[in-house]
Chain A
Amino acid sequence: MSDPILEKLGAYIATEILKQPNRIVKSDEPLLSSGLVDSFHLVDLSLFVENNFGVRIDDAELNASTFDTLNQLVNLIKSRK
C-alpha cells in the first residue's frame, strides 16, 4: 500500500481537489466516473503528474477510460517512466 507515487497522488487529490486533507482516497476508488475529480480539475491533475513524476498525459487521455482510480493512474505513470 505504501507506494510513494500513490501516497503523493492521494494526498494531492484530498488536499487540493477535494479540500479534505484528512480524507483517505482509496486506491481502487473511482475518481472520474464518480465525479469526485470533475473535469475542471483534470488539467491540474495532469500538470501535477508531469511536474512531480515527469510523465506526460495527453489531454485526449484525460478520461475515465484511460484511468479512473489511483491504482490505474499509478500504473500509467510507472509504465511511462
Chain B
Amino acid sequence: MTILHAGQPDRPVSYSELLNGSAGYVKSYQGNGVQPGDVILLILQHGIDLLYAYYGAILLGAIPSIMPFLTEKLLPDRYRADLGGLVSISRPTAIVTYPDFEFEVQAAIKPGRDSVKTVIVTDHVESPCLPQFQLFGGLLRKPEDIALLQHSSGTTGLQKGVALSHQAVINQLTNYAKAIQLTGTDVFISWLPLYHDMGLIACWLMPILMGYPLVLMSPFDWIRAPYRLLQTVSKYKGTLSWLPNFAYNFSAQKIRDRDLEGVDLSTWRVISNCSEPMRWESHNAFYERFQNLGLRFESLCTCYAMAENVFAVTQGGVNAPVFCEDIDRDTLQTKNVAQAAKPGQTVVRMMGTGKPIKNTKIQIIDNKGQVLPDRHVGEISVLSDCMLTGYYHREDATKKAFLDGWYLTGDYGYLVDEELFITGRKKDLIIIGGKNIFPQDLEILAYEVPGVHPGRASAFGVFNEITGTEDVVLVAEVDVDDPEKRYNIADEIRASITRGSAVALRYVHLVHHPWLVKTSSGKTARSANREKFLQEMQTKGQQY
C-alpha cells in the first residue's frame, strides 16, 4: 500500500514492513499485559502508526477499534465525555494514541475504576521486528471469535460497538469481491475515514487482506483539495473507489481546471456511491465534469451497506448501467407503492442500489413483520452469512435489532426483481456526507444555550440539491423579541452545537412559542416540524 500526506512524499509500505511493524506493536501489547480477546482502542490519524497498531492487534488476537480523532472545533470536554462513554460500554484494555494526545486520553479514563489498564503512546512502541507467529494469539482465534469493533456515532447512551467475527469479515470480503468482480489488476484508491465501515472494510481490510494495492489519503487532505483523489487515480492507475453522494457534487463543483492537467481517469472502473442517499443528478454532474478526462459513465456504481452486515448488502452497476426508474410520486407517498410514472404524473427518479451480494437475502416487511411483495415500500431486513455477532456488551440493543433472525435496518425501501431501492428511513437520523447524526444529540446541545428551553427545539435534515447531502436545520422557540438578542442566541446555538458535536448547522430558525409540533406524548415531532419549516420558507419565497 501507499500512504499519502499533503506536502510529504508518498510512503510505500510492503507486506514485510507491515508484518514487522505490526510485530513491534504485538510486543508492546504483550508487554503491557494485553491478551487475545481484549479490546484495543486506537485513537490515531490515518498513517503508518494506525496501520501497524491495527494489524498488530489482529496478529495478537485482540479486538481493534478505531475512534475518531479530536478535531479542532470540538470541545475537548465533550470529546472526553464521549470517550469516557465509549470506554464504559466497550471496555477496552488498552488505548493507543500519540504522545501529545496522551493527556486528553488520561483525562477521560478513570484508572483503577474502568477497564483501561494501559495507554500506549506511539513513540514508546517496540521497533519493527520479525514476527514470531507461534507466540501470537492471532492464529489461534476461532472463526466465531470477535475480530473487530466498529463504533457508531452518537452520545454515550446511543453509542454502540458493532462486533464482527472473523468468519463474518472473511465472508463479507469473499462475497463482496465477487460482486465487484475483483481482478488481478485492481488498485484501491481511498480518502475515507477508517472509523467508518466504508473506509474500514472496503478500503483497508479488503485490499490488504486480499493482496491488492491500496493508495490511502487522509479525509482532512481530501476535503481541502478534492482534486487529489483524481490525481491519485491517474498516477496509480486506480480502478476502485467508494464515495458518499456529496463527494460527487463536491468534486464536480470545487476543482479548478489547472489541477486536472494531464489527469487520466480511464482506469477507474468501479466507483461506488454509498453510505448516504444517492442521487442520479450527482452521478450526472460528476460524469459531465470529468468525462473529458477519460471517466466512463458505466464506472459509476451504487452500493447499500451497513456495519451490521460488515459492509455491503447490495452492489449495483458493475459492468452494467445502474438501474434507474421514474416513479409516480403520489402513489409512492400516499400508497407506499412504487409504480412507473405515466405521462403527466409527477416523477421521482429512483436509483437502484443493486442486487444482494452472494449469501445475503433481503426482505421488505410491513410494521407487523409481514413480508411485502415487489414494489411495496416497507422496512428493509437482511439475513446473511456476514451479520454482526451483536452490539458489544449491549444485549438489549442487539435483541431489538433482530426479528426472527433477520436484521432490521431501520431503512425503508422496495424491491424490483431483487433490485433494492431506498426510499427513506424509520429513525429521525440525519446523514451528512455519510456521517450519521442523531438529532436528539443536537437538541440537547441547543438546550444548553440560555434562552432556549428544554423540549423547545427540533433538529432535522433537509436535502440540499447543490451539495448532494443533507443540511442540518434547528428550529428553537425563544421568548425574546429584540433582534440583536435573537442573533446572539442563534450564534450561541451554532457554537454550542459545533463545539459539542462537530456538526455545523446550516440554518438556525428562531420562532415564538407555540410553533413546534409535538407528538401526543409531548416529544418533538421532527418530521412534522421539518414539513412546517419547509412550508414556511416556501411561503416567504426564501431558500432555506
Q: Does A76 contact B (CB under 8 A)?
A: no
The answer to whether residues A38 and B498 also contact, given A59-B225, A60-B6 and a CB cut-off of 8 A, is yes
Across-interface contacts of B506 in A (CB, < 8 A): 19
Q: Does B355 contact A (CB under 8 A)?
A: no
The answer to whether residues A34 and B224 also contact, given A43-B254, A60-B7 and a CB cut-off of 8 A, is no
Contact (Cβ within 8 A) A36 B226: no
Q: Does B487 contact A (CB under 8 A)?
A: yes
Measured in the bound complex, the distance between the Cα atoms of B30 and A35 in whole Å is: 41
Contact (Cβ within 8 A) A38 B224: no
Measured in the bound complex, the distance between the Cα atoms of B226 and A63 in whole Å is: 16
Our pick among B72, B220, B226, B507 for the contact of A19 (Cβ within 8 Å) is B507
Across-interface contacts of B250 in A (CB, < 8 A): 40, 43
Across-interface contacts of B467 in A (CB, < 8 A): 40
Q: Encode contact with A along B57-98: 1 for CB under 8 Å, 0 otherwise.
A: 000000000000000110000000000000000000000000
Q: Does A55 contact B (CB under 8 A)?
A: no
Q: Does B495 contact A (CB under 8 A)?
A: yes
Interface residues of B in 207-266 (CB under 8 A from A): 220-221, 223-226, 250, 254, 256
Q: Does A39 contact B (CB under 8 A)?
A: yes
Our pick among A38, A40, A59, A60 for the contact of B73 (Cβ within 8 Å) is A38
Query: Closest Cβ of chain A: how far from B190's Cβ, in Å?
Result: 18
**From A65, which residue of chain B is reached at the shortest CB distance?**
B72
Our pick among B254, B495, B502, B507 for the contact of A47 (Cβ within 8 Å) is B254
Q: Does A42 contact B (CB under 8 A)?
A: yes
Measured in the bound complex, the distance between the Cα atoms of B225 and A63 in whole Å is: 12
**From A39, which residue of chain B is reached at the shortest CB distance?**
B223
Contact (Cβ within 8 A) A62 B224: yes
Q: How large is the interface on A (under 10, 10 to 19, 20 to 34, 35 or more residues)?
A: 20 to 34
16 A-B residue pairs with Cβ-Cβ distance under 8 Å, sorted by A, are A19-B507, A19-B544, A33-B73, A34-B495, A35-B494, A35-B498, A36-B498, A36-B504, A39-B224, A40-B223, A40-B433, A43-B224, A43-B225, A43-B226, A43-B254, A59-B221
Measured in the bound complex, the distance between the Cα atoms of B7 and A42 in whole Å is: 18
**From B256, which residue of chain A is reached at the shortest CB distance?**
A47
Across-interface contacts of B375 in A (CB, < 8 A): none
Query: Closest Cβ of chain B: how far from A5's Cβ, in Å?
Result: 21
Query: Closest Cβ of chain B: how far from A42's Cβ, in Å?
Result: 6
B contacts with A, residue count (CB < 8 A): 26
What 6 A-B pairs have minimum CB-CB distances, sorted nearest first?
Answer: A35-B498, A35-B73, A59-B225, A38-B504, A59-B224, A43-B254
Contact (Cβ within 8 A) A35 B226: no
Q: Encode contact with A along B492-516: 1 for CB under 8 Å, 0 otherwise.
A: 0011001100101011000000000
Q: Does A11 contact B (CB under 8 A)?
A: no
**From B543, which residue of chain A is reached at the shortest CB distance?**
A19
Contact (Cβ within 8 A) B498 A39: no
Q: Does A74 contact B (CB under 8 A)?
A: no
**From B487, which residue of chain A is reached at the shortest CB distance?**
A23
Contact (Cβ within 8 A) B73 A42: no
Query: Closest Cβ of chain B: how far from A48's Cβ, in Å?
Result: 11
Across-interface contacts of B226 in A (CB, < 8 A): 43
Across-interface contacts of A36 in B (CB, < 8 A): 494-495, 498, 504
Across-interface contacts of B256 in A (CB, < 8 A): 47
Query: Closest Cβ of chain A: how far from B69's Cβ, in Å?
Result: 13
8 more contacts with CB within 8 A, not counting A19-B506, A40-B250, A42-B224, are A20-B490, A32-B73, A34-B498, A36-B498, A38-B498, A38-B504, A40-B504, A62-B224
Q: Encode contact with B along A10-29: 1 for CB under 8 Å, 0 otherwise.
A: 00000000011001000000
**From A40, which residue of chain B is reached at the shortest CB distance?**
B223
Q: Encode contact with B along A52-65: 1 for CB under 8 Å, 0 otherwise.
A: 00000001101110
Across-interface contacts of A34 in B (CB, < 8 A): 73, 495, 498-499
Measured in the bound complex, the distance between the Cα atoms of B495 and A42 in whole Å is: 18
Across-interface contacts of A60 in B (CB, < 8 A): 6-7, 224
Measured in the bound complex, the distance between the Cα atoms of B7 and A32 in whole Å is: 21
Measured in the bound complex, the distance between the Cα atoms of B71 and A33 in whole Å is: 9
Query: Closest Cβ of chain B: how far from A19's Cβ, in Å?
Result: 6
